[in-house]
Amino acid sequence: MPQVIVLPHAQLCPEGTVLEVPEGKSLCEALVENDVEIEHACEMSCACTTCHVIIREGFQSLNSSSDDEEDLLDAAWGLESTSRLSCQVKLGKQDITIEIPKYTINHARENH
């Protein structure tokens, strides 16, 4: 099973973590199921950018992004060449390392 190495994120995963994830599983689902509460305002339907991640290692092992995903990523905060929407990433055979950006664009979220 491939590993997903999550780099530390101040709110969502302060210590970072390593997850064992079955090949073909959605990255966003794997994160949420393992208590990394990444936002997914559109319920993982590729309609927002709140689950944006940056793939630091293993990018080439992932499924290709769709035109819809690419269009949405253009609006993501902190976009990089290896950015993906985690709801659209299906894990391949190789380990990956991800970074969750510090900010997301979520117009529905209330900050208190």
d(Cα 10, Cα 30) in Å, to the nearest integer?
19
Q: What is the pTM of this model?
A: 0.90
Residues 18-52: tens digit of each pLDDT: 999 999 999 999 999 999 999 999 999 999 999 99
Q: Could you tell me if 73 and 49 are in contact, meaning their C-beta atoms sit under 8 angstroms apart?
A: yes
d(Cα 24, Cα 9) in Å, to the nearest integer?
25
- Which domains does the chain carry? 3-96 (3.10.20.30)
| pLDDT the model gives residue 109 | 47
Residues 48-73: tens digit of each pLDDT: 999 999 999 999 999 999 999 999 99
| pLDDT the model gives residue 112 | 38
Length of the chain (residues): 112
